[in-house]
A and B are shown apart, each in its own frame.
Chain A
Amino acid sequence: MQDEKCIFDYDNSIESGGEMMDKTISKRFLRGIPLYLLILPGFLYFVIFKYLPMVGLLVSFQEYDLFLGIWDSPWVGLDQFIRLFTEVDFLILLKNTLILALYDLIFYFPAPIIFAVFLNEVRKKWFSRTVQTVVYAPHFISWVVVVGITMTLFSSQSGGINILLDNFGFERINLMQDPDKFRFLWVLHNIWNGTGWGAIIFLAAMASVDPSLYEAAKIDGAGRLRQIWHVTLPGIRHVIVILFILRLGNFMDIGFEHVYLLQNPLNLDVSDIFDTYVYRTGILSGNFSYASAVGMFKSVVGLILVIGANKVSKKMGEEGVF
């Protein structure tokens, strides 16, 4: 930076007036061309795939007609949102969505951190690597398969686990039909599926903790747990905070596929969330405006949470996301 300034200052001294300014700007621009080109694909990606589709949100203020398109469909103002908020099921949907989101935050979010901390303490390299690979493999298994395996194992008549329970004199578990078990099953699936994958970023953060801190702690007489508490966790605190804030942005996104696969008429009371509701009333019935209104509502809630959490985090002296 310093060098650049010098050069421009030098230019300034021999050129004069506005002409001089133009020249520096154009020179600067010319020098930057390779960099601009490098940034262009990413820039276009965000414009084309992230910002332009936002135009589609207009649809939520319309009664969208497939054959009239976005520009000619009739405008209905906030009707779609009013319909959503006055829907009989709105409170149930909100409650179910929020409870699942909280379960996710309370039980699933810390899981990769705990796992990463423990894995970090393992001395035998081959062991920790093997464990890590085994634990993050489920990430690549799709929900269809995960739910299918669960259903097969817990099938009330022919499921392996239920037959085993029966043989040992226990009662069979009605895992899929019982509404009380739905939320735990869901969050356990999430933990099984995502812990290993989520731990990667924390392990990377831990690798960057200065080893001399551990040495100093050891000299001060800190045991393993003390080292974790006073060195490892503070070392990855900023990563945890940032990931937490980002997670809040998707607070209401429970993941349609997983819940939909676990859903059945017996657990609908607890398993019906905005995403499955949108699928039924929005996508299957072709109410695209309504579906996008619900989506927008979810995003706005996420946005408020992100901004709020970011402010709180900055107030508490942590780095925020922005």
Chain B
Amino acid sequence: MKKLMLLLLAFILLGFVVAGCSGGNGNNDVPDSQNDDQEQQQGNDQQAEEKADNQVVDDMSEEIEISMMVRRGKGWPDDHPTLAFLEDKFNIDLNIEYVRGGSAYHEKLNVLAASNSLPDIYWIFVQEYNKWRDKGVFLDLAPYVGDYPNLKAAFSEESWTVLNPEGKIFGIPTGSKLNKPLGTMIIRKDWLDTLGLEVPETLDELLEVSKAFAADDPDGNGSNDTMGFSAAATNGQIPFMNNGGFFMGGFGLHNDWGLVDGKIEGWVQQTDKIKEVAGWLNEAYVTGALDQEFAVNKPSDVKKKFLSGKTGMVINNMFNMDRFEKDIKEITPDAELMAISYPEGPHGFGGPKGPNIQKVVMNAEMDENKRKRILTMLDWWMTEEGQFPMEHGIEGVHYTKEGDSYKPLPAYAKQKPGLLTSALMQAEDFDLFFKVWDDEQYIQKMNELIDINTQPKYAWDNAALGLHSETLEAEGANLGSKFLQAFVKVVVGDEPASTLDAASEEWFNNGGEQIVEELTKAYDLYGTGK
């Protein structure tokens, strides 16, 4: 009996192992099904030839499985109404994978690429886009995009062609963020009023205000627990409220890369100006205006400290302002926030450091039917008729409509029907940031902020935006963190400013020189020309 049991156990374990192995072979099924698809495709091709004259239209009679990956930690549940609506409308089975942005997304992309299982359509970082562009991984959209006028019109010609070789379009540009900055400087107006301070207009005034926030107890709780602003020393960024851009420009530093005499130059090379920046930050650090723990902070801490009433300023997306005010008011009912324009520095203005160029790509290994179905969906999405549900959700579930007035339902905030618009793609039209039920005052306020942000004097362009350099890819993270280390040490006063000369030289000698050369070459080929 015992023996029998043992035997049984052995077989069960063996079963697990076999199951595990066959799971691993699952990928082998893919070519088979592709063959099937190809056969079907041949059939469809015959139909297509018949219809060749009047544009091949997908009749959507066949259900197609589409895999998608978007940059968002938390996604929709499988029974989300908007998802069901999309699946129903386009007769698709949409499998969306949600991956948190940042390094987790890079890792996921690399793993999927290595195992040859990239999704049908996915959001991609510009680094991977550049690296993989010429490897035949992305579908070239150039021959098809003309058939989808709404999709084509949703983005400017420049957005379509940027970072693409002549005559090819390997990705759909996404985001109105290409040139339009949403980052804005938010300050505690109630603190300014309490201490009787003016709104700071220059960086020197900003420093004075920050010092006062740290020393004069603006929250009136009797203890010395406030500071001017916080920062996080993340890779490659000057630590300043999480967005060095507002600041580096004021001191005349490049937005990562500038163009000097036809050659790309990194901000790391501008040592004289960096020393000025370090001196300014050092003063802020010594006086307590700058968070004493900035070197240890993670980017999210900067926001957290502002929301918990520890700091008086933060830089964040302007569309978060209302939410921030609500959060702070839970702790301090009198809190009041205001957005201020970028302070002037000794060498001009800083501008917001815009996000990188973003792309959405489609898998090159895709049959014609699937390609058409996806592009049809995207084309619809970029029409006004499509934008509406992708932004506001489903009538009766996420909002109600009475006559001409719309009202959000509780499910709207809970289910976030606009998720794909922010996590995958959006047209280059600013109005999309507003909901149909937003009141006019709010829209006006936001539009004013956008107008301020887009003033030409704040323009602060990255000459090498989105350009590819192999050395930068391989060594950039390491070089950047080494330079930042030296910079932070100077800011906290552990080392003299002359350390920065040595660090900059080290950066240049250990790879910076090649990076600059490669970027200059890439600039001549693909540069945004600004």
Option from B6, B17, B484, B494 in Cβ contact (under 8 Å) with A34: B6
**Other A-B pairs, 8, CB within 8 Å; known A156-B292, A264-B296:** A41-B10, A66-B113, A67-B136, A158-B310, A280-B478, A284-B106, A285-B474, A288-B110
Interface size class of A (residues with CB under 8 A): 35 or more
User: Which residues of A are found within 8 Å of B10, using beta-carbon distances?
Assistant: 34, 37-38, 40-41
Q: Is the CB of B475 within 8 A of A88?
A: no
Query: In the bound complex, do residue B296 and residue A151 qualify as a contact, i.e. CB atoms below 8 Å apart?
Result: yes
| Contacts A34-B3, A281-B478 given; does A158 touch B14 at CB 8 Å | no
Is B492 among interface residues, defined by CB-CB distance under 8 A?
yes
Which residues A149-163 have CB closer than 8 A to chain B? 151, 155-158
Q: How far is the CB of B118 from chain A (nearest CB, A)?
A: 10
13 contacts between A and B (CB under 8 A): A34-B6, A41-B16, A65-B135, A66-B110, A67-B132, A67-B135, A88-B510, A157-B293, A176-B296, A266-B492, A280-B481, A283-B107, A287-B474
Residues of B within 8 A of A (CB): 3, 6-7, 9-11, 13-14, 16-17, 20-21, 103, 106-107, 110, 113-114, 131-132, 135-137, 225, 227, 233, 292-293, 295-296, 310, 473-478, 481-482, 484-485, 487-489, 492, 494, 506, 510
Are A284 and B11 in contact, with the CB atoms below 8 A?
Answer: no
* Chain B interface, >50% SS class: helix
A279-294 to B contact mask, C-beta < 8 Å, 1/0 = 0110111111010000
Q: With A266-B488, A285-B473, A285-B476 in contact, is A40–B293 under 8 Å at CB? A: no
**Nearest chain B CB to A112's CB is how many angstroms away?**
30
Q: Which residues of A contact B106 (CB under 8 A)?
A: 284, 286
Known contacts A48-B21, A281-B474, A287-B474; is-contact A268 B485 (Cβ 8 Å): yes
On whether the beta carbons of B225 and A157 are closer than 8 Å, the reply is yes
A277 at the interface (CB under 8 A from B): yes
Q: Which single residue of chain B is at the shortest CB-CB distance from A36?
A: B10
Q: Which of B485, B492, B494 is the most central at the interface, judged by chain A CB atoms within 10 Å of its CB?
A: B485
Pair A266/B295 contact, Cβ less than 8 Å:
yes
Q: Does chain B have a CB within 8 A of A265?
A: yes
1/0 per residue, CB under 8 A from B, across A131-162: the answer is 00000000000000000000100011110000
Find out whether the CB atom of A44 lies under 8 angstroms from the CB atom of B17.
Answer: yes
Query: At the interface, yes or no: A177 with Cβ under 8 Å from chain B?
Result: yes
Q: Do the beta carbons of A286 and B132 come within 8 Å of each other?
A: no
| A37 cross-chain contacts in B, Cβ below 8 A | 7, 10-11, 14
Taken together as a complex, chains A and B put the C-alpha atoms of A156 and B296 apart, in Å, by 11
Residues of A within 8 A of B (CB): 34, 37-38, 40-41, 44-45, 48, 65-67, 88-89, 151, 155-158, 176-177, 264-266, 268-269, 277, 280-281, 283-288, 290
Minimum CB–CB distance from B298 to chain A (whole Å) comes to: 10
Residue of B nearest to A49 (CB): B20
Q: Is the CB of A41 within 8 A of B474?
A: no
Contact B481 A177 (CB under 8 A): no
- Chain A residue nearest to B10 in the complex (CB): A37
Task: Give every chain A residue within 8 A of B131 (Cβ-Cβ).
Answer: 286
- Distance between B311 CB and nearest chain A CB, rounded to angstroms: 11
Of the residues B16, B103, B113, B132, contact of A284 by C-beta under 8 Å: B103
Nearest chain B CB to A143's CB is how many angstroms away? 15
Q: Which residues of A contact B132 (CB under 8 A)?
A: 66-67
With beta carbons under 8 angstroms apart, the residue of A67, A157, A281, A283 that contacts B475 is A281
In the bound complex, do residue B477 and residue A280 qualify as a contact, i.e. CB atoms below 8 Å apart? yes
Complex: chain A residue closest to B9, CB-CB: A38
Shortest CB–CB separation between residue A9 and chain B, in angstroms? 25
Q: Are A284 and B3 in contact (CB under 8 A)?
A: no
On chain B, the residues within 8 Å of A67 by CB distance are: 113, 132, 135-137
Q: Evaluate contact between B473 and A286: CB separation under 8 angstroms.
A: yes
